[in-house]
Structure 1
Amino acid sequence: MAKFTEEDSALLDELGIEVEIAKAGSRTPREERIIAGFEEVQRFVEEHGQAPRHGEGLDIFERLYAVRLDRMRDLDECRALLEGLDHQGLLAGHGLGSAAAEDDLDDDALLAALGVEEEQADISELRHVRSSAEKRAAEEIANRERCEDFDQFKPLFEKTKKELEQGVRVSRVIRKDAGFLKTDIRAGEFFILGGQTLYIAEVGDPIKAPNGETDARLRVIYSNGTESNILLRSLQRAIYKDETSRRISEPTAGPLFSDQAEETDLASGTVYVLRSKSDHPTVSANRTILHKIGVTGGKIQRRIANAKLDATFLMADVEIVATYELFNISRIKLENLIHRIFEPARLDIEIKDRFGHPIVPREWFLVPLFAIDEAVQKIKDGKISGFRYDPHTAAFIQVSEQKT
């Protein structure tokens, strides 16, 4: 650093300028992590125009950021450290009861949101927050601009979100040990990075990078209406560094229901269809079309071993009439999807359990087996969202054909 001469100092005095020597400051690693975590919340606010909120129907990453912000608001140490950086006024007020609002998040999810090391008792000890080097590597991702033709892409994001909810698409964690390559990033694909969905709109012509490797310029569209033109290798690096990054599958990627799995498929469970042997009058009168539809990650035989003691199985033995192996899909989402499809045909019956308590089973439907087969096929083909089930005709009707 250059030193001022006496002449320089005299000139500055005449101009009325005071020279303040900056003091070299240092922060502890913990303080650096707290600041970096707060900057991530600030980045979310800049991208979405609002502070992260709690709520079951909101994006999981927004809810996790909301938990982190509440903790920072509640801790005096964090407030004292961050007040000078809080140009958005995020620290105003107090925590909003996130512990109660986020009871549905398990401990690991909450710890990941806060970046808390499991062996640390101090909740202000944050982890999973990017280092300065990682933040510099991600600057290209952050340099975005408004997407002028976002209206063309918005329906794609909405359709993909709906297909994820229905189980037609799945999001898969990107495993570093599996070897995620630049060639795995192709035009038309969706990824989740930093809690935000992105779409690869264009992949430019190959170019030679300074290190001799091949690279390409991408046009990436983000779900918040922004876009960036970044290098393929930069996106690959950012995806690797984000431990929560995920790839969103194509609707027809891999067998959804199959008797055989391919080498790269991850087993998820089994859809089972059961028929009751109960002598209940309602069951007896509808036995051929009354089916229980469920999804399990274990063996079906073990699941039904004590059926006659379980009101869920109508307090009677059952027989297996159909099974479908499923791969690369959320069991819970799939089961919810199937139950929503056949909701109009759900059986309304009350059964008393072995203690005499009334139980209303929720997984029995008055649906013929061929209709279940058709529903499975439409889910597999990604077409189920365009149909509804009509219990009167036992058929699927296109939504566009419904009378208004």
Structure 2
Amino acid sequence: MANFTQEDDALLEELGVEVEAKKVVSRTPREERTIAGFEEIQRFVEEHGKRPRHGEDNDIFERLYAVRLERIRDQDECRNLVEPMDHQGLLATTIEQPVEVDELDDDALLAELGAEAETADITELRHVRSSAEKRAAEEIANRDKCEDFEKFEPLFEKVQREIKDGTRQTRPFVKDAGFLKADIKQGEFFILGGQTVYVAEVGETIKAPNGETDARLRVIYSNGTESNLLLRSLQRALYKDEAGRRISEPAAGPLFTDNEDEDDQASGTIYVLRSKSNHPTVAAHREVLHKIGVTSGKVERRIANAKIDPTFLMAEVEIVATYELFNINRTKLENIIHRVFGPAKLDIEIMDRFGKPVVPKEWFLVPRFVIDEAVERIKDGTISSLKYDPNSASLIEREFRS
């Protein structure tokens, strides 16, 4: 619509044309959020052809919309606000299954209705604690005495010895700590609530209401108790416990393996390169100067433009060695490698193709046999305690300050 000046308005009045002043509607942030929440409910109804309903068999978002609709309908202020836009008759009184009080707490509901200063994204559901989560917490808490604990006690003692001597390692039970998946299998050990946990038995796979697979476990605890809980309940408990840990198998201690198992997922490749540059410093140390890096793609693709890339010393390179990774956090491994060989890092400045000075990274004055040794120490899980000594051209134990 065109914008008119005061002169235009006067002219229109002379012509007998009424000028209707545009009304400016100002709403509070709470009112805006209430309207937005009601529009989400309307979109749900349009997509599914039904009102949102309560019930554990329904999706958590549908149950959340059902509670939100009830609250809007019960509060006159909210109801009057959205009533003009209720073309689906959602505010009409209907007989609904009563909401379970323990499904959603007051903070979550008030946030959805705009009663808080800031509201979280609905997909985060930060304040929502479902009945399933409550049941999981109860399962973890309910334990019985393990009548045949004498069978398992030696296993716990052996695991503790292996953790102490480095044969086994403990790792955070989180997806970004080197694991591509956080599965739970029979025979595995975990740390939960400060106790060692052993998965003695895994029952038949069942289908949970949310579509995920689940199974009933027999879990033995190091204090001589046991519980019969669902796999997903143990998984949730480990995720929520900030100190929750996975205890590695004796053969699963390395950061990566040479052999790919059926269930492994490739994470990337460690590559070792040698430069063909004619730079005097490079030429003088060519046999011991190596670039050590980690890539998620093909090494050949990574080095395709080496001669115009200062990262590769503006020259072609040759691949000296590669080591494929499985189920590993590439960034963390690369940081470990660069810390170990930090004392031998090449200090050189070259010009890029635009004539600007660049200091390349990831180039180290390290013999090939030491790199091979470092890879072996990565495999046995002892690399983090070592550093490279340029004077002896060997890996030595790091000194830890107390």
Tell me, in whole angstroms, the C-alpha distance in 2 between the residues paired with 1:205 and 1:265: 23
- 1:375 Cα deviation after fit: 0.4
Q: Structure 2: where are the runs of 5+ without partners?
A: 1-62, 72-100, 144-158, 203-214
Q: Which residue of structure 1 aligns with residue 231 of structure 2?
A: 236
Residue equivalent to 1:261: 260
Following superposition, which runs of at least 4 residues in structure 1 exceed 6 angstroms of deviation? Answer: 31-34, 36-39, 159-165, 203-206
Q: Structure 2: how far apart are the matches of 1:383 and 1:357?
A: 40
Alpha-carbon offset, residue 292 of structure 1: 0.3
Structure 2 counterpart of 1:218? 220
Which whole-Å CA distance do the structure 1 matches of 2:121 and 2:237 have between them?
A: 13
Whole-angstrom CA distance in 1 between matches of 2:107 and 2:187: 28
Does the aligned pair in 2 maintain the 1:275–1:287 contact within 8 Å?
A: yes
Post-superposition CA distance 1:207-249 (Å, at most 9, x none): xxxxxx99645226xxxxxx89451x31624135579688564
Contact 2:255-2:379 at 8 Å conserved across structures:
yes
Counterpart residue identity of residue 105, structure 2 = I
2:308 maps to what in 1? 309
Instruction: Quote the RMSD (CA, aligned, Å).
Output: 4.7
Identify the match of residue 116 of structure 1 among 101, 113, 122. Answer: 122
- Residues 276 and 316, structure 1, Cα contact 8 Å, conserved in 2: yes
Pairing 1:1-400 to 2, within 5 Å after superposition = 29=67, 35=105, 77-78=115-116, 116-117=122-123, 126=125, 129-141=128-140, 170-174=178-182, 180-181=184-185, 184-186=186-188, 189-190=189-190, 200-201=196-197, 216=218, 218-219=220-221, 229-231=225-227, 233-234=228-229, 236-239=231-234, 247=246, 249-250=248-249, 252-253=251-252, 260-399=259-398
1:354-403: CA deviation from partner (whole Å, max 9, x where unpaired) = 12222211210011111100000011011223332211111112347x99
Measured against aligned partners, the alpha-carbon deviations of 1:121-145 in whole angstroms (never above 9, x if no partner) come to xxxx72794412431232233579x
Amino acid in structure 1 at the alignment position of 2:377: K
Q: What CA distance in whole angstroms lies between the structure 2 residues aligned with 1:323 and 1:162?
A: 27
Gaps of 5+ in 1: 1-25, 40-71, 80-93, 96-113, 118-124, 145-151, 207-212, 221-226
Residue 203 of structure 1 deviates from its aligned partner by 6.8
Secondary structure of the 1:284 match is: helix
Aligned equivalents of 1:322, 1:272: Cα separation in 2? 6
Q: Assess, with a 3 A threshold, how the Cα gap between structure 1 residues 34 and 308 changes in structure 2: closer, same or farther.
A: farther
By how many angstroms is 1:264 displaced? Answer: 2.4
Taking the aligned partners of 2:132 and 2:239, their CA distance within structure 1 comes to 18
Provide the C-alpha distance between the structure 2 equivalents of 1:282 and 1:372, rounded to a whole number of angstroms. 21
- Residues 242 and 298 (structure 1), Cα distance of their counterparts in 2 relative to 1, 3 Å cut: farther
1:278-332, CA deviations, whole angstroms, 9 ceiling, x for partnerless residues?
Answer: 1111111111111000111111111000001111111111000111111111111
1:271, CA displacement in angstroms? 0.6
Question: Deviation string for 1:61-101 (max 9, x for gaps)?
Answer: xxxxxxxxxxx7x996247xxxxxxxxxxxxxx99xxxxxx
Paired letter, 2:287: T
1:352 & 1:393 partners in 2: Cα distance?
A: 32
Q: Secondary structure at the match of 1:295?
A: strand
| Change over 3 Å in CA distance of 1:368–1:228 after alignment to 2 | same
Q: Match of 1:370, SS?
A: helix
SS at 1:393 equivalent: coil
* Secondary structure of 1:218's aligned partner: strand
Pair 248,76 (structure 1): closer, same or farther in 2 beyond 3 Å: farther
**Structure-2 separation of matches of 1:204 and 1:256:** 26
Asked if structure 2 preserves the Cα contact closer than 8 Å seen for 1:257 and 1:324, the reply is no
- d(CA) in 2 for partners of 1:355, 1:321: 29
Q: Which amino acid aligns with 1:238?
A: S
User: In the superposition, relative to structure 1, how do residues 164 and 228 fare at CA in structure 2: closer, same or farther (>3 Å)?
Assistant: same
2:179 is aligned with what amino acid? S
Kept in 1: contact 2:386–2:398 (CA 8 A): yes
Distance 1:285 1:394 in 2: 17
**In 2: Cα distance, 1:327 partner to 1:394 partner:** 29
Asked if the contact 1:141/1:230 (under 8 Å) is kept, the reply is no
Match of 1:13 in 2: none
The share of aligned pairs that are identical, in percent, is: 51
Query: Do the aligned partners of 1:190 and 1:197 also contact (CA within 8 Å) in 2?
Result: no
Equivalent residues of 1:172, 1:247 under 8 A apart: no
Q: How many residue pairs get matched?
A: 270
8 A contact 1:190–1:198 mirrored in 2 = no
Aligned counterparts of 2:178 and 2:325: Cα–Cα separation in 1? 12
- 1:360 maps to a residue whose letter is V
3-state secondary structure, aligned to 1:171: coil
TM-score (norm 1): 0.54
User: Which range moved further: 379-388 or 256-265?
Assistant: 256-265
Distance 1:325 1:162, change over 3 A: same
With the length of structure 2 as denominator, give the TM-score of the two structures. Answer: 0.54
- Report the CA distance between 1:163 and its aligned residue: 6.5
CA contact (8 A) 1:173 1:244 kept: no
